[in-house]
Amino acid sequence: MGNFAPVMAECDAPELIVAEGELPADLRGTLYRNGPNPMFPPLGTKHHWFLGEGMVHAIRVEDGKASYRNRWVHTSQYETQRNAGRRLIGTAFGEPAAPGGEGVRQNVANTNVVWHGGKLLALDEGSPPVAMDGDSLETTGSWTFEGKYAGPMTAHPKFDPRTGEMHFFGYMAAGPASPDISYQVVDASGRLTRSEMFKAPYASMVHDFIVTDEHVIFPIFPATIDVERIMKGGPVIAWDPDAGTRIGIMARNASVDTMRWFEGDPCYVYHPMNAFTLHEGGRTKIVADVMKYARVPLFPNTDGTKARIGLEDTPSMLVRWTFDLDDNSNSYTEEPLTDLGGEFPRFDERFAGQVYNQGFYAANLRPLTPGNPFDTLVHLDLTTGNRRVYEPGEGKYVMEPVFVPRSAAAPEGDGWLTTLVYDRSRNLSDFVVLDTDDISKGPIARVELPTRVPFGFHGNWRNMA
């Protein structure tokens, strides 16, 4: 419904209207966004938002002007269906393919889009990345790191700002419903330098992970994937609190064989904000800030029933987990960082894996209504707890914020917050730039896009060379 529905046209708009304010002269680069954009109607009645074919949107900013382009990601799934002129691959978990779709490798490439090693990579979490041209958005093909890794890749790789390395993992790496997780490191040029495999305590949907400058953290939450349950006709992914939360931690310079597992109460985290390693009083601690749900949203219980509570009842809350690596306990502590829930946490990624103080996320200040997600952006000082918010107004909805530093040497959090805002009254989207000095003052620039951009998942900024 509404802005969850797909747009069916690919377009190029070489010069957009700056409807409010001015684009900063120093803001030069491209904001990429990715999200589900189903190319044909569902096969049945159990369509899941996560499974529409991916479409990448790009807003390029240069010299105070902006342009727009969007393209579907041309996976083998996309190409086969386009040639057939109809849906062949279902958009519900566990749904069989329609006649003609048997044997087609499923890859929606709809969750995130990152720039690394000279390639724009469209990602979901069950497939290898799909490479695209960063300017034209034309698909160049599935990318297997020169044939060295063809397994699944998370949609949330982590980038080390000091080394330029990209770290990523893949779950169900040994096949469907397997507990095996792969871990890879790619250098700044895009060359695979490390690849290992380990078994998690159980098979689950592992959406994201965490990397500090010294450690790697693999959170395993009870959104389980159970073969026996699936064979009996049960849900592919289900909330199974009896499995508990297990969090594996290892040093970055150590083997996966050294993984240490911590245990916690059942919960789910789609997205961490950031994490760092501390050395205090002769002890080593890991601090991880995450958006924590009481249960996994958007998936049923193990018996197939829906949760009795929805997202409006249990929003994710930003909490801080602390792991004491010199303690004999396998537990960890938790403290809330703010009382306003939200999602899509971001930060100044020049401080990825390091001590940091500034965070951003999307939230709701108005009652959540069907078909309309977040209406507010938040800038949170993690040291003081002070926050400022940007509210675009009634009937307007924000997407994930992406921070761009004012300059390479600017202090942490000093720069611009970019996002897309959907305006229900116009049925169009805007590209919005906020100054992090005070986002509550509203946009320093609002650029009208020629189309609406459906509510999707993630995006990133690529600086212009």
What is the token pair recorded at 303?
């018996």
- 207 marked as binding residue: yes
What's the 3-state SS for the chain? CHHHCCCCCCCEECCCEEEEECCCCCCCEEEEEEEECCCCCCCCCCCCHHHCCEEEEEEEEECCEEEEEEEECCCHHHHHHHHHCCCCCCCCCCCCCCCCCCCCCCCCCCCEEEEECCEEEEECCCCCCEEECCCCCCEEEECCCCCCCCCCCCCCCEECCCCCCEEEEEECCCCCCCCEEEEEEECCCCCEEEEEEEECCCCECCCCCEECCCEEEEEECCEECCHHHHHCCCCCCEECHHHCEEEEEEECCCCHHHCEEEEECCCEEEEEEEEEEEEECCEEEEEEEEEEECCCCCCCECCCCCCCCCCCCCCCEEEEEEEECCCCCCCCEEEECCCCCCEEEEECHHHCCCCCCEEEEEECCCCCECCECCCEEEEEECCCCCEEEECCCCCEEECCCEEEECCCCCCCCCEEEEEEEEECCCCEEEEEEEECCCHHHCCCEEEECCCCCCCCCEEEEEECC
- 167 marked as binding residue: no
Q: Facing residues of 272 across strands?
A: 290
- 156 marked as binding residue: yes
Q: Beta-carbon neighbour count of residue 158 at 10 Å?
A: 22
Phi, psi of 336 (to 5 degrees): -70, 150
Binding residues: 156, 207, 271, 458
Binding residues for Fe cation: 156, 207, 271, 458
